[in-house]
């Protein structure tokens, strides 16, 4: 069991997809203008990661090498469709806010990369822990980036006001602010990891 716990912790810290591996930058930068958007995108991706890892690890011996990648994409697309349909049915405002980035989870290099590099080569249980760890790392990174951008840009955090919006730096809500905030967070994360 300690191996699986190590896999989970590595996904959050050592192999964090955003702060260490620098994967999935498109949704990271585009959907984190608020904490709730960042967290929602992270949770949606985590659901797809966990489910696709489980299915791929279960079926890896039955999928021929010739169609391995297309089969993985079909499996991932199935879970993305489920997320998109549930979000459209129960959270339409959030679905509108995240827009095209929900369907783009299908081609997110984090999800496909974990399917190819981990789930296709490991047990179902280890793949579950890998999906949860990487998904949790991605969710925490997007939420943190969303918190920083929303707080610096509008004085709010999860839509709760801490100071008047007039004192916020609008740059942080815009695209350049995403790059600036991400750069500082990556630097801080790497500095803390070296200690």
Average pLDDT over residues 49-76: 96
What's the pLDDT score for residue 195? 75
Query: Residue 34 is encoded by which pair of tokens?
Result: 């608020």
Distance CA 79, CA 22 (A): 24
What is residue 156's DSSP assignment?
E
How much of the chain exceeds pLDDT 70, in percent?
99
**Sequence-ordered list of residues with C-beta below 8 angstroms from that of 103, at least 6 positions apart, any chain:** 80, 84
Distance CA 148, CA 178 (A): 9
> From the CB of residue 128, how many other CB atoms can be counted at a distance below 10 Å?
20
Lowest mean pLDDT among 39-43, 81-85, 90-94, 160-164: 160-164
Per-residue pLDDT for 159 more than 90? no
Per-residue pLDDT for 130 more than 70? yes
Distance CA 52, CA 73 (A): 9
What's the pLDDT score for residue 1? 62
Locus of tokens 């129960």:
90
Query: Residue 105 is encoded by which pair of tokens?
Result: 């989870």
Locus of tokens 């249980």:
125
Per-residue model confidence as pLDDT tens digits over 169-184: 989 999 999 999 999 9
- SS3 per-residue string spanning 19-49: CCCCCCHHHHHHCCCCHHHHHHHHHHHHHHH
């Amino acid at each position: 069991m300690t191996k699986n716990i190590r896999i989970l912790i590595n996904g959050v810290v050592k192999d964090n997809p955003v702060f260490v591996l620098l994967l999935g930058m498109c949704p990271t930068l585009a959907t984190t203008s608020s904490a709730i958007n960042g967290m929602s995108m992270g949770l949606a991706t985590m659901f797809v990661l966990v489910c696709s890892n489980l299915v791929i690890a279960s079926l890896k011996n039955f999928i021929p090498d010739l169609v391995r990648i297309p089969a993985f994409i079909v499996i991932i697309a199935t879970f993305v469709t489920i997320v998109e349909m549930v979000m459209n049915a129960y959270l339409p405002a959030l679905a509108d806010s995240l827009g095209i980035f929900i369907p783009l989870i299908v081609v997110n290099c984090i999800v496909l990369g974990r399917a190819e590099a981990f789930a296709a080569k490991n047990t179902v249980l280890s793949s579950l822990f890998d999906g949860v760890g990487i998904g949790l790392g991605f969710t925490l990174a997007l939420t943190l980036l969303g918190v920083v951008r929303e707080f610096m840009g509008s004085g709010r955090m999860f839509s709760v006001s801490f100071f008047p919006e007039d004192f916020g730096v609008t740059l942080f809500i815009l695209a350049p602010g995403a790059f600036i905030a991400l750069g500082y967070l990556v630097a801080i994360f790497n500095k803390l990891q070296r200690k």
